[in-house]
C-alpha cells in the first residue's frame, strides 16, 4: 500500500521506533496496540529517565542537604517546569503533582469544595463524565449538601448545549467536565463553555485526561480554573498526574491531606501550611514518576504536533470508514469533533468476546464500560468495545483491526 500524504509528512515508523513495546509479538502476532485510552505506551526517553533516576539520582526531595537529595529535588522541580511549559501555565506554582487525574479531581472536590461550596450550591457535570469526575462530587454532595446537575448528551455523543445554557444559573458555582470523552472521543467546546461559565460567576474544572495525548492544552488560552491530567495516558509513567490550578484559587484553598512536606511549622497546638504547590503535596511525592512525566512533556513538545494530529485524524477517518464494512457493527459516538477513539457494539458478540477474539490476532482493545456507566446507560448499553489510537498507530493496524472484526462475525454468527 502506498503511504498517504500525512504518513509521508509524519514519519510514523520513525516515531514507532521510540516506543520499544510496539515491537512485541503477543501470541506470535505483531502487537496492534489500540488500548491507548486506557493507558498509552512510553517512549524510550521516559523509560530511560526512570532508569537514570533510580541508578544515579535517587533520594528523597526537599529534605536533604546532600548531593543526591539536591539532585533529586532539582530534577523534580525541573519536571514541574516542563509541565508548566506543556500546559502554558503562568507559574510553576500552579502545577501540583498528584497520583493521577482521579487524585487531582478529588483534591479540588475536597479542598475547593470545603471553602467555596455551600449547601445548595450547584456543580454542573455532564453525562459523558468518567467516574472519577462523578463520584468525588457525589461524596461531596453527601457530605456538604451541594446539588449536582447533569448536562445531557445527544445521540451523536455531543453535549446538549441548549440544556447546558439552561442549567447554568447563578446557583452554579463550578462546572466540572471532561475536555475529551474517553468513551466517545468527543472534543467538547470547552473554550466557549468556560467563557459562558465565567460570565455566570462559575469556576471551571476540566478533566483533560483524554485530551492531553491528542490536543495541545493551553490553560491560559482556555481560561480554565483547574485542569486534571493523567500521566500514564500522555505517555508518562503510572502513579503520577497533575492538577493545574490558577494561583488565585490554590492560594486560597486549604490542604486536602496532612503530613510531611506540606507545612511551614508544626507544634502540637498549631500547624501552619506551606504555600502552593507544596501545600497539596503531603508526604513523599511520586518523584520518579514526575521526572518521567516531565520527559513525556518534553517528548510531546518536541513532536511535530500538527502533523501528529492530522495523522490521528486520518487514522480516525479511515478506521471509521473501514469498521462500517463489518456487518452488525454500530459506532457509539459520532460527534463532528473527535479524537481517534472508536467505541462500538456488534450484533454477533458481546464486547468481552470481541476483545478476546481480537487478542488472538494480537489486537489489543478495551471491552467494558470504560468507567462511564451513566454514559453507557444513556445509550441503553452495559458495555462497548473500544479501539483507541495514538499518533504511533498506523493504517495497517486499522486493517488488522477490521480483519479481526470480520473474524468475530465468522466465529459467532
Task: Write out the residues near ligand PMP by the rule CB under 6 A.
Answer: 100-102, 130, 132, 178, 182, 207, 209-210, 230, 233, 241, 371
Residue closer to ligand PMP (CB basis): 188 or 210: 210
Q: Note if 208 is an active site residue.
A: no
Residue closer to ligand PMP (CB basis): 182 or 409: 182
Helix (H) or strand (E) holding 266: strand 263-266
Angle at 170 between CA 167 and CA 174, to 5 degrees: 70
Strand, coil or helix: what is 168? coil
Helices 287-302 & 44-52 angle (0-180, nearest 10): 150
Write down the least CB distance from residue 230 to ligand PMP, Å: 3
Write down the least CB distance from residue 396 to ligand PMP, Å: 26
- Cβ atoms of 97 and 108 within 8 Å: the answer is no
Q: Hey, what's the torsion of the CAs at 155, 156, 159, 161, to 10 degrees? A: -80
**What span, in angstroms and rounded, lies between the C-alpha atoms of 97 and 75?**
13
CA 368 to each of CA 38, 351, 387: distance values in angstroms, whole numbers, following the listed order: 11, 7, 12
- Cβ atoms of 390 and 36 within 8 Å: the answer is yes
Cell of 2: 502506498
Closest CA to 33 of 405, 387, 274, 403: 387
**What span, in angstroms and rounded, lies between the C-alpha atoms of 43 and 216?**
18
371, 374, 399, 412: the active-site residue? 371
Residue closer to ligand PMP (CB basis): 72 or 153: 153
Helix, strand, coil content of the chain in percent (nearest 5): 45, 15, 40
Write down the least CB distance from residue 370 to ligand PMP, Å: 7
Residue closer to ligand PMP (CB basis): 15 or 104: 104
Write down the least CB distance from residue 151 to ligand PMP, Å: 15
Write down the least CB distance from residue 176 to ligand PMP, Å: 11
**What span, in angstroms and rounded, lies between the C-alpha atoms of 6 and 64?**
50
304: CB partners within 8 A, 6+ apart: 9, 10
Residue closer to ligand PMP (CB basis): 107 or 308: 107
Write down the least CB distance from residue 136 to ligand PMP, Å: 11
Cell of 292: 518521567
- Cβ atoms of 384 and 370 within 8 Å: the answer is yes
Residue closer to ligand PMP (CB basis): 130 or 376: 130
Residue closer to ligand PMP (CB basis): 132 or 188: 132
Closest CA to 148 of 160, 161, 159, 134: 134
**What span, in angstroms and rounded, lies between the C-alpha atoms of 105 and 176?**
9
Write down the least CB distance from residue 181 to ligand PMP, Å: 7
Residues recognised as catalytic: 371
Amino acid at each position: 500500500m502506498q503511504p498517504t500524504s500525512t504518513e509521508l509528512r509524519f514519519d510514523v515508523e520513525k516515531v514507532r521506533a521510540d516506543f520499544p513495546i510496539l515491537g512485541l509479538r503477543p501470541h506470535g502476532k505483531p502487537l496492534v496496540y489500540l488500548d491507548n485510552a486506557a493507558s498509552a505506551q512510553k517512549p524510550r526517553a521516559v523509560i530511560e529517565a526512570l532508569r537514570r533516576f533510580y541508578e544515579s539520582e535517587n533520594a528523597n526531595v526537599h529534605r536533604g542537604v546532600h548531593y543526591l537529595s539536591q539532585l533529586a529535588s532539582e530534577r523534580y522541580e525541573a519536571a514541574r517546569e516542563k509541565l508548566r511549559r506543556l500546559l502554558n501555565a503562568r507559574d510553576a506554582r500552579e502545577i501540583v503533582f498528584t497520583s493521577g487525574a482521579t487524585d487531582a479531581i478529588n483534591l479540588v472536590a475536597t479542598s475547593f469544595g470545603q471553602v467555596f461550596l455551600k449547601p445548595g450550591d450547584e456543580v454542573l457535570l455532564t453525562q459523558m463524565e468518567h467516574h472519577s469526575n462523578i463520584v468525588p462530587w457525589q461524596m461531596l454532595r453527601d457530605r456538604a449538601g451541594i446539588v449536582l446537575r447533569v448536562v445531557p448528551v445527544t445521540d451523536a455523543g455531543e453535549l446538549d448545549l441548549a440544556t447546558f445554557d439552561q442549567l447554568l444559573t447563578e446557583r452554579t458555582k463550578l462546572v466540572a467536565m471532561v475536555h475529551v470523552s474517553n468513551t466517545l472521543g468527543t472534543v467538547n467546546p470547552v473554550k466557549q463553555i468556560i467563557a459562558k461559565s465565567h460570565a455566570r460567576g462559575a469556576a471551571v474544572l476540566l478533566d483533560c485526561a483524554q485530551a492531553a495525548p491528542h490536543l495541545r492544552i493551553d490553560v491560559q488560552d482556555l481560561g480554565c480554573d483547574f485542569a486534571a491530567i493523567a500521566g500514564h495516558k500522555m505517555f508518562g509513567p503510572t502513579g503520577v498526574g497533575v492538577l493545574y490550578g490558577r494561583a488565585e484559587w490554590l492560594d486560597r484553598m486549604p490542604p486536602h491531606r496532612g503530613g510531611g512536606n506540606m507545612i511551614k511549622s508544626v507544634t502540637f497546638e498549631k500547624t501552619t501550611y506551606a504555600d502552593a504547590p507544596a501545600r497539596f503535596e503531603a508526604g513523599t511525592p511520586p518523584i520518579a514518576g514526575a521526572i518521567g512525566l516531565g520527559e513525556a512533556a518534553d517528548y510531546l513538545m518536541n513532536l511535530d504536533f500538527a502533523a501528529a494530529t492530522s495523522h490521528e485524524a486520518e487514522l480516525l477517518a479511515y478506521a471509521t470508514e473501514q469498521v462500517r464494512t463489518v456487518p452488525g457493527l454500530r459506532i457509539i459516538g459520532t460527534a463532528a469533533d473527535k479524537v481517534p477513539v472508536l467505541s462500538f457494539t456488534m450484533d454477533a458478540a458481546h464486547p468481552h468476546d470481541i476483545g478476546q477474539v481480537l487478542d488472538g490476532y494480537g489486537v489489543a482493545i478495551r471491552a467494558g464500560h470504560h468507567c462511564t456507566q451513566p454514559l453507557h446507560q444513556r445509550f441503553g448499553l452495559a458495555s462497548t468495545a473500544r479501539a483507541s489510537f495514538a499518533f504511533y498507530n498506523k493504517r495497517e493496524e486499522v486493517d488488522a483491526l477490521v480483519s479481526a472484526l470480520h473474524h468475530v462475525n465468522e466465529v459467532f454468527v
